[in-house]
Structure formats: structure tokens, C-alpha cells
Amino acid sequence: MAIDRLRDEFTTLLGADGVISAGPQLRTYECDGLTGYRVRPALVVLPTTTEEVAAVVRACHRERIPFVARGAGTGLSGGALPHADGVLVVLARMRSILHVDVDNRYLIAEPGVTNAAISAAVAEHDLYYAPDPSSQIVCSIGGNVAENSGGVHCLKYGFTTNHVQGLEFVTAEGEIVELGGAVADTPGYDLRGVVVGSEGTLGIVTKVIVRLLRRPEAVETLLADFDTPREAGDAVTAITTAGIVPAGMEMMDNLAVQACEEDAQVGLNLEAGAVLVVELDGPQAEVSALFGEVQRHCEQAGATNIRIAEDDAERALIWKGRKAAFAAMGRLSRDYFVQDGVIPRTRLGEVLERIGEMSDEAGYRVANVFHAGDGNLHPLVLYDGRNEGEADEAEELSIRIVELCVESGGSITGEHGVGADKACSMPKMFGEEDLALMQRVRAAFDPAGICNPGKLFPTPRLCGERPGPYRAHPLEQAGLAERL
Amino acid sequence: MSTDTASTLRPNDLGEALEAILDAAGALLFTGGGTKLGWGTDPTGVDVVIETTAMTDLLSYDAADATVAVQAGMPLAQLQATLAEHDQWLAIDPPHVADGATVGGVFATNDAGPRRLAHGTVRDLVIGATYVLADGAVGRTGGFVIKNVAGYDMAKLLCGSLGTLALVAELVLRVDPRPQASVTLGIPADAATAARIGVALGGAPVEPVAVEWADDTVWLQFAGHPDAVRAQADATVALLRRQVAADLEADEVEDADAVWRRLTDGLAGADGQTVVRGACLPTQLPDAAQGCVDAAGHAGVDVEIQAHVLVGVLTARVVGDPGGHAAFVDAWRARLSQLGGHAMVRRTAAKAAGGVDVWGSPPSAMGLMRQVKQQLDPDGRCAPGRFVGGM
Ligand SMILES: Cc1cc2nc3c(=O)[nH]c(=O)nc-3n(C[C@H](O)[C@H](O)[C@H](O)COP(=O)(O)OP(=O)(O)OC[C@H]3O[C@@H](n4cnc5c(N)ncnc54)[C@H](O)[C@@H]3O)c2cc1C
């Protein structure tokens, strides 16, 4: 069989310890961070060079065997979910930083380098890599590229796509090409821009050129307590309409506060209906001039208490608490579903109240911890999988929440990606023709359809025979835009 | 550009644009304000021009959400005026704004100005787009929120594609607060000093929004809170005196608007000039600039240079004997390629037209680019031959 041929070929190519085809080790790779979905791959390979990746892909292409790239496996949408009859290409052994250019402020990393390792490697030069997903200690830069990952500082600094200048890329046919580069404005179509966020469906990233930023001179962080999420939402709107772009602006509701506090002992107010974290950074004079304004806006919106981080240690503790939010949820509930919907940030208060009502109606607690500045919600629906039917009901609530986001003018995903998880929700955001055009791009990159198939796009097999009904975008309903 | 025999259509909206495309036969050319028709190789045998200048509506604008949706033909100047009423702006400063450059045209060329240092180009600011292919397929990508990773980011593909894939009909953009104040400094500097200033600034906790080298001067701009811009400018001068030259002169510029207008216009060049955009790593600026002067000497032409110092992009305006322009382009491009950089021609002096190689040798991903073109414009009807590799 083809897969047996490939196993032998890959063993010759990568050595015995570069191929896993049986045994308990395979189980490690059954799922990514979306642990509810599990598939055992036919074969796992662990290449160490670009040439090895290209050779693996060429062989898969020759045999028409599907392959799936995997970084650290922290993805939350099942993007790295293996294919049962396919090859899982694990990039974790490609973890060298190949080149650092301090004066031109960029760095070239292999895809398996962790996000945090990049900033650590250039910290001595006061440089850093801006996008900082909460999973940064483990997630890989290759995975970040595939998901166009965000983080708590993306409000001011932008997402992965704004910080990745170039890629070395193995096409789905096994060719090695460069997309973009360290030098600006490379001629041709911006294929780099398409590959970023394409969730491993176009090819395999084997090198990443990232832009580095100088550490800001000053940073100020505050925690503001509010009685209700709506008031915290009002503060968010007041700050942004005043023309202030905070480095980060994060909100936690009461349930999330309780979980984080128990986990990280930040000293959060357990009585607060919502806590807002606002961070400003930049030149000292700029930060000093604006930080007072931020405090004033919080007070005017009804903040009951404002705590200002005294030093870097306290700031680090606050962020540790915030970034541990998902993990901390385990203390409140045995199981939970995480959503990643986005809404226009001006609708925060209203949407949060509606989520509260939906939670009451369904009888499941929902904790909210999210990137308030850009309206990216992470509602966590808490349930106990041991009780018959709870998982299904909780998932249903979780899906209704994300639909509410789309109806409010937003998106089904702000940073976790579509993957296997939300492929069937794509028709809620896009019409058939929109998706067909994206599929044409996919066909240009992967004519054989073997590169991470079954992800991102709805398929009849995945979503039932009929694709979900198309719903008019709210702007269309309002007559502001029309679809033909 | 030879479109004399072509008919021109001016649809009012997406629906009419689609109809125009469905009705049209043969080769299509999509245009906005027509300020950058000289970019790319001259397309061959255009039958129908579809011009977006009647598509100027503001579709939606929510200042508190900092997002705006427009029809592609809206003049950038008009959009900026609307946003200014709410102390906001689309954070780009490309040339040709006063000549009627449209938002869609700036998007299709990814044209930019000195402020790209702080905000990136329009590519970084587009959050959604609606586009029409030559076969009449209409696609929407992105959405109306700043953060969104659902589906492929088709807008990236269309941005800078010179209308060779699709007509961009509508765009959704993120906008920024308009800085309350700014300060501009002028610092006399040759190319080597300019590069050293760049390295010093890049490694320091100051945040200039533009660093442009032209007329043997580095022009530095700071923008933000009124109290802060002055402090930043002072801190920067002190830093440069420490790190670059103790006797460095730095004067605050009085008529800053006029200076930046002139620098922005310089990126576009003028009739009779060939304008070449070169790129290299920022620290290679002195080599690239010297290479430019050498190439001009070799080709027997005169050249004026300016550069986005911290971005590593140079603009050369070639004047003098049109017969030498092609030789200049080849010679400078060869030097830039040795540095790992590249050059693209942005405008060709009429008489020099024929011999100038606009794009240079194709990029390593040319095969993939052709497959993308093949998928989205299989009959090669959108601006045939205009793009890299003859696409
Ligand atoms: C606790 C926790 C917190 C998180 N917080 C955030 C957050 O704040 N912001 C955020 O954006 N995300 C967050 N995530 C999600 C996740 O960490 C990111 O999506 C991350 O980028 C995934 O990286 P990875 O290396 O784990 O990729 P994987 O999970 O291994 O893969 C993700 C996708 O990328 C593809 N892929 C991986 N490597 C490559 C490659 N080299 N070439 C091509 N395709 C590739 C895979 O096929 C898959 O589709 C969080 C996850 C967890 C568990």
C-alpha cells in the first residue's frame, strides 16, 4: 500500500527516530488543543531540514497521500487534527534561530521555534517580537503564521501578518520557494499575505522572517474594577474614541476573575462584575500624557477601584493572571468550550448582556475573558462532560454565541482559526461564491487537494449534505451593502 | 498607456460594475483616478476600460469602532476629509492625493508614503474587500471588524496586484486617531550618515513616524500628544549627538507641511522622468545610493534620490537623455540584486518607454503566482501583460 511505501521511504530519509507509525507514541499526535476531536494519523514524520520537508511532501504528492503540518499542537480549532490515512508532518525538531540582524531589526527562525523564544533571543538588544498569544511559551512561530495569531498587545501593534516579512515555503507539490523577504516590497502578488492565516492548507512553512521592535521606553498598566461588564465596555469605548490606542485592553467578567485569582493570586477583586486591564506603552512623555486620561475615562464610566501596577514585577503578575485564564478555568469547571467570536467593540456591553441571558436560559455558566480593545470575545461555556447530554447542550450554546457575534457585525473567529471546528460555520459569514473563490486560490497552491484537506472549508461530509443557509450580513440587511 | 481605442465604462456601484464586466468582451483595464496608469508594463490590446470614478460612496463609518467602508472609487482626499471631522484618518500618505487618487487605486498599487514607517501600507489597514473577477464571480473577503481570521485573506492578494486579478469594488478599512501635534526636524546628512541615523533610531526608544532622506538631509517627523512630540524630538537630537556625531545639526522645520508635500510628490516624480523604486536592507542604504549614482554615470543620465531610511526603500528619479534610462535601470537593478534587493520601475519617461525592463527577473514563487492568476483570471483578460513575469 502507498502508506507502507512511504513509511519505508521516510525511514530511509529521516532515520528510524524520525518516523512514528505505531504504538503509544502515535497517540500523542491524535489531537491539538481542541481535544474533543481526535484522529490517529497513519504516519508521523519529524523532519529536521527544509529539504527533508520537501522530500516528504514530494513523496506524498506522488502517492496522492494527504499530509497535515503540525507545530506545537496548541491550536484551538483542530487545524492540526491528523488525517486518518495521511502523514502528520511535525515541525517541532526544526527549532533553530538561523539569523539575527539587530541593525535591520529582523530575525529568521525555523518554524518550530516557540513564539517566546524569539523575543528571548533578542532581549539583550532590547528588541522583541510583538504578537504575543497567551500560549507563547509553547506555540510555534510556524503555527502562529498558519493561524495569523494575535495576542494581548495586538490592538496597537497588529497581528502576525503585520510582523512576518517573509517565508520559506514548501508548496503542496514539494517545491521550495520564498514568499516576501527581509527586504521590503518584493515584486509580485503578496502570497506571503495569503499564506499567513491559511491554517496549513496551502503548504508548509519552513522558515519565517519576523520583524523585531525596540522595547518601548515606558509601560503603564492599570486594573479597573466595574460593577458590570457594560460599564467596563463603556470605558473601552470612551478610551478609544478619545483617540488613545492602548497597547492592550483586556476584560474579564466575574467568573473569569474568580478562576484567574485562584490560579495566579493577582489580588483581583472577587466582587467586581468586570475587571479591565489597560496597558499603555511608548515614549515616556507620550505615555505620561495619556495615562491620566485613561484613568479619568475609567472613573467616568463607573470604575469602583483602580489599581496601577507599581513595577514590572506587578505588571508581569497581572499578565500572568490574564494569560492563564483558559488554564485556570479548569478550577471552575471540569470541561468547557472556548469560543473566539469578534464583535464591533462598541457593542460589547449589549452583546455581553445578551450572552448573560442566553447563559441563564440554557442553564450553563459562561465566563468571559477577552481582548476588549478589538472586540475579540472568548466566552467559555462551562459544563461537566460526565453528565449525559451536557456536552451537546453546552456546545449548542457555544455555537449560538458565535452566531450572535456574526449577527452583531463581527466574525466567527478572531485568532483561533476555523480549522475542523468552525468549518461548518463559514457559511454564516461567507456566501457560496466567496468560499468558491477562496477554493480557487487553494487549488492554485494545492491542485491535488492533499494539503490539510477537510479543514477551513465546509464540506458535505463534515457539515451534512446541505451547506448551512447563507444569511445576509447585517450591513446588507441595513441596505449598506448588497450581495449579488 | 495605449487605451485610445478602448471604450470606457463608469459604473455607479457593485451591481453596475458586475454588469459592465459581464457585458464586456476582450481585455479589461480597471482604473480609478488614473494617476498610476504608468505602473507596470503597458497592458496589451485593452478593449474595455472600467473606471471606478463614479463609485465614490461612503458605505458606512463608525468612528467609535474606527472602521470605514467605501466604494473603491472614493477619492482618498474625500475620505480623509470625512474622517478628519472625527479626528481620524486612514493612516497612509501616498502621493497623487491632490490629483484625485482613489482609495481603490492606492489599494491596487499598494502605493505609500513616508508614514508607512509607523503604520505600514494600506495592505496593513484593509480589513475587508468586495471584488469582481473577469468571469463575473463576486467575492467578499474579511469583514467589518479589525480582528478576523475567518477564511483566506484575499485582500492581501489583491493589494498591489495592479488590477490583474479582479476589479476591487468596495473596501473596508481600519482608521486611526489623527495625531494632535507633530514636529519635523531637518538634519544635514549624506547617505552614510543617514544610514547611521537609521540604526541609532531603530535601536532607541523613540518612535518617529517618518524618516526620509532627500536633498542631503534626513527629515524626521514625530506625531502624537503635543507635550510628547517635543520631548521626543529633544531626546532624539541628544541621542543622535551621542551616537552619530557630536556636532550634528538638527533644526526644527517651520513649514513642515510643505516639506512633506514635496517629499511625497518626489515619490511620484514628474512627466519626463523615469521613476525607479529600489529596495534593500536599511543599513545598505549607502551602497544602494552609491550604486544609483554609479548607474547614472554609466548610463549618462542624471538622477535624484530619496529614501525611506528605516524601511529600506529608495526612489530614483531619472532625468536627462531618455536613451539612457533603460541602461540606468539595468545597472542599478544589478547592483541592488547583488545586495539582495530589487528594483521596480514606477513610471517611464515617454521617450524611454520601449527598452525599459519594468520588473526585472521573476521572483522564486513565479510558478505559484502564475497558478493563482490562472485560477482567478484564466483567460488572462485583466490588464494583460501588466504584471510581473508578463502576467
Ligand atoms: C492556553 C492557550 C492559549 C492560547 N492563546 C492564544 C492567543 O492569545 N492568541 C492566539 O492567537 N491563539 C492562542 N491560542 C491558540 C494557539 O496557541 C495558536 O493558534 C498557535 O499559533 C498555534 O501554534 P502551534 O505551533 O501550536 O500550531 P498547531 O496547533 O500545531 O497548528 C496550528 C495550525 O497551523 C498549521 N501549521 C503548524 N505549523 C505549520 C507550518 N510550519 N507550516 C504550515 N502550517 C503549519 C497546522 O496545520 C494547523 O492548521 C491559545 C492556545 C492555548 C492552548
Amino acid at site B53: T
Nearest to B150 by CA among A123, A423, A334: A423
> Would the CB atoms of A371 and B344 count as touching at under 8 Å?
no
User: Tens of pLDDT along B87-100?
Assistant: 999 999 999 999 99
Nearest to B168 by CA among B69, B63, B81, B99: B69
Kindly give the distance from the C-alpha atom of residue A68 to the centroid of ligand 1, in angstroms, as a whole number: 13
Residues facing B131 on adjacent strands: B139, B168
B204 vs A101, A214, A284: nearest CB: A214
Separation of alpha carbons A130 and B228, rounded Å: 23
Position A146 scores a pLDDT of 98
Kindly give the distance from the C-alpha atom of residue A340 to the centroid of ligand 1, in angstroms, as a whole number: 14
Residues 214-243 in A contacting B (C-alpha not used; CB under 8 Å): 214-218, 237, 240-241, 243
Tell me the CATH number for domain B181-263: 3.30.70.260
What are the DSSP calls for B206-247, one per residue? ---SEEEEETTEEEEEEEE-HHHHHHHHHHHHHHHHHHT-TT
In this complex, is the C-beta atom of A198 within 8 Å of any C-beta atom belonging to chain B?
yes
Kindly give the distance from the C-alpha atom of residue A115 to the centroid of ligand 1, in angstroms, as a whole number: 10
> Would the CB atoms of A178 and B14 count as touching at under 8 Å?
no
Kindly give the distance from the C-alpha atom of residue A183 to the centroid of ligand 1, in angstroms, as a whole number: 27
Question: Is there a contact between A196 and B382 (Cβ–Cβ < 8 Å)?
Answer: no
Q: Which of A49, A76, A164, A191 to mutate to test the pocket of ligand 1 (most atoms within 8 A of CB)?
A: A76
- The residue ranges of every structural domain in chain B are 1-178+361-391, 181-263, 270-355
Q: Which of A139, A157, A167, A191 to mutate to test the pocket of ligand 1 (most atoms within 8 A of CB)?
A: A139
In this complex, is the C-beta atom of B157 within 8 Å of any C-beta atom belonging to chain A?
yes
Separation of alpha carbons A110 and A118, rounded Å: 10
Using a cut of 0.90, tell me whether the model's pTM lies above it: yes
Nearest to B248 by CA among B160, B187, B314, B309: B187
Eight-state DSSP code of residue A130: -
> Would the CB atoms of B372 and A436 count as touching at under 8 Å?
no
B152 vs A192, A245, A438: nearest CB: A438
> Would the CB atoms of B232 and A285 count as touching at under 8 Å?
yes
Separation of alpha carbons B170 and A191, rounded Å: 21
Residue of the CA atom closest to atom 27 of ligand 1: A143
> Would the CB atoms of B144 and A194 count as touching at under 8 Å?
no
A283 vs B159, B205, B363: nearest CB: B205
Distance from CA of B12 to the nearest CA of A (A): 13
A294-299, Cβ contacts within 8 angstroms, sequence gap of 24 or more:
A294/A222, A294/A239, A294/A244, A294/A246, A295/A222, A297/A235, A297/A238, A297/A239, A297/A242, A298/A222, A298/A224, A298/A235, A298/A239
Domains in chain A, ordered, with CATH? 2-90 (3.30.43.10), 97-214 (3.30.465.10), 218-328 (3.30.70.2190), 333-429 (3.30.70.2740)
Separation of alpha carbons B114 and B262, rounded Å: 11
Separation of alpha carbons A234 and A298, rounded Å: 8
What is the Cα A465 distance to its own chain's centre? 29
Eight-state DSSP code of residue B85: T
Task: Please provide the average confidence, as pLDDT, over all residues in chain A.
Answer: 93
A441 vs B67, B224, B372: nearest CB: B372
Q: What angle is formed at CA B244 by the lines to CA B340 and CA A181, rounded to 5 degrees?
A: 20
**pLDDT, one tens digit for every residue, chain B (391 residues):** 556 678 999 999 999 999 999 999 999 999 999 999 999 999 989 999 999 999 999 999 999 999 999 999 999 999 999 999 999 999 999 999 999 999 999 999 999 999 999 999 999 999 999 999 999 999 999 999 999 999 999 999 999 999 999 999 999 999 999 999 999 999 999 999 999 999 999 999 999 999 999 999 999 999 999 989 999 999 999 999 999 999 999 999 999 999 999 999 999 999 999 999 999 999 999 999 999 999 999 999 999 999 999 999 999 999 988 999 999 999 999 999 999 999 999 999 877 767 899 999 999 999 999 999 999 999 999 999 999 999 9
Residues facing A411 on adjacent strands: A342
The CA-atom distances, in angstroms, between A109 and each of A70, A99, B3, B134, B339 are 16, 7, 47, 39, 21
Distance from CA of B228 to the nearest CA of A (A): 5
- CB contacts of B144 in chain A (<8 Å) are 344, 409-410, 473, 475
Q: Which of A87, A149, A446 to mutate to test the pocket of ligand 1 (most atoms within 8 A of CB)?
A: A149
Residues 76-135 in A contacting B (C-alpha not used; CB under 8 Å): 101-105, 125-126
The CA-atom distances, in angstroms, between A184 and each of A379, B269, B280, B312 are 39, 20, 7, 7
Angle between helices A432-445 and B366-376 (to 10 degrees): 150
In this complex, is the C-beta atom of A342 within 8 Å of any C-beta atom belonging to chain B?
yes
Do the two domains B181-263 and B270-355 of this chain adopt the same fold?
yes
Position B353 scores a pLDDT of 66
Position A466 scores a pLDDT of 45
Given CATH 3.30.70.600, say whether it is the number of domain B270-355: yes
Separation of alpha carbons A155 and A150, rounded Å: 9
> Would the CB atoms of A413 and B359 count as touching at under 8 Å?
no
Position A479 scores a pLDDT of 43
Separation of alpha carbons A279 and A284, rounded Å: 13
**pLDDT, one tens digit for every residue, chain A (484 residues):** 899 999 999 999 999 999 999 988 899 999 999 988 999 999 999 999 999 999 999 999 999 999 999 999 999 999 999 999 999 999 999 999 999 999 999 999 999 999 999 999 999 999 999 999 999 999 999 999 999 999 989 999 999 999 999 999 999 999 999 999 999 999 999 999 999 999 999 999 999 999 999 999 999 999 999 999 999 999 999 999 999 999 999 999 999 999 888 888 889 999 999 999 999 999 999 999 999 999 999 999 999 999 999 999 999 999 888 887 877 888 888 899 999 999 999 899 899 999 999 999 999 999 999 899 999 999 999 999 999 999 999 999 999 999 999 999 999 999 999 999 999 999 999 999 999 999 999 999 999 999 999 999 998 877 874 444 444 444 444 444 443 4
> Would the CB atoms of A418 and B279 count as touching at under 8 Å?
no
> Would the CB atoms of A283 and B144 count as touching at under 8 Å?
no
Nearest to A53 by CA among A259, A238, A204, A210: A204
Q: What is the ipTM of this complex?
A: 0.97
Q: Which residues line ligand 1 (CB under 6 A)?
A: A 32-33, 68-76, 79-80, 91, 111, 133-135, 139-140, 142-144, 146-147, 149-151, 199-200, 204-205, 326-327, 415-416, 452
List alpha helices for A64-208, DSSP H.
115-122, 141-147, 154-157, 191-195
B65 vs A346, A431, A444: nearest CB: A346
Given CATH 3.20.20.70, say whether it is the number of domain B1-178+361-391: no
Separation of alpha carbons B139 and B157, rounded Å: 13
The CA-atom distances, in angstroms, between B225 and each of A193, A202, B18 are 33, 44, 45
Give all strands (DSSP E) within B67-166, no chain letters.
67-71, 88-89, 126-132, 138-142
Distance from CA of B248 to the nearest CA of A (A): 21
B139 vs A214, A433, A456: nearest CB: A433
What is the Cα A420 distance to its own chain's centre? 14
Residue of the CA atom closest to atom 34 of ligand 1: A143
Residues facing B219 on adjacent strands: B186, B212
Question: Is there a contact between B27 and B46 (Cβ–Cβ < 8 Å)?
Answer: yes
Nearest to A67 by CA among A76, A55, A51: A55
Give all strands (DSSP E) within B38-147, no chain letters.
46-51, 58-62, 67-71, 88-89, 126-132, 138-142
In the structure grid, which three cell numbers stand for residue B161, read together?
A: 496586484
Ligand 1 atom closest to the CA of A150, numbered from 1:
11
